[in-house]
Amino acid sequence: MSDDLNARFETAQADSRLLPERPDNPTLLKIYGLFKQATAGDNTEKKPSFSDVVARAKWEAWTAQKGVSSDQAKQGYIELIESLK
């Protein structure tokens, strides 16, 4: 199961660069959060300053996935990319 999931996750990463149109910002942030959770686990980084809007939004998107297992995050990422194709 895990090898299959990893292969599908890698395919979804490649597919994410070939989407017919650029997803909206909330969707891009969800993709980012799931990817970071899948590859790095729970966010332990310091919260960026309020003035750094992009970094803060990315930090919050990743933090929103806290507690989700790597496999669950990979599955969520795969399903989200598939829904955008």
The per-residue pLDDT for range 28-79, each reduced to its tens digit, is 999 999 999 999 999 999 999 999 999 999 999 999 999 999 999 999 999 9
Please give the single-letter amino acid code of residue 84: L
Query: Distance (Å, rounded) from C-alpha 7 to C-alpha 10?
Result: 5
Which pLDDT band holds residue 2 (cuts at 50, 70, 90)? confident
pLDDT at 60: 98
Answer whether residue 25 shows pLDDT above 60: yes
Domain residues of the chain, as ranges? 2-84
Which pLDDT band holds residue 1 (cuts at 50, 70, 90)? low
- Do residues 29 and 41 make contact, with C-beta atoms less than 8 angstroms apart? no
Query: Distance (Å, rounded) from C-alpha 75 to C-alpha 81?
Result: 10
pLDDT at 5: 97
- Do residues 64 and 76 make contact, with C-beta atoms less than 8 angstroms apart? no
Give the class (CATH, top level) of 2-84: mainly alpha
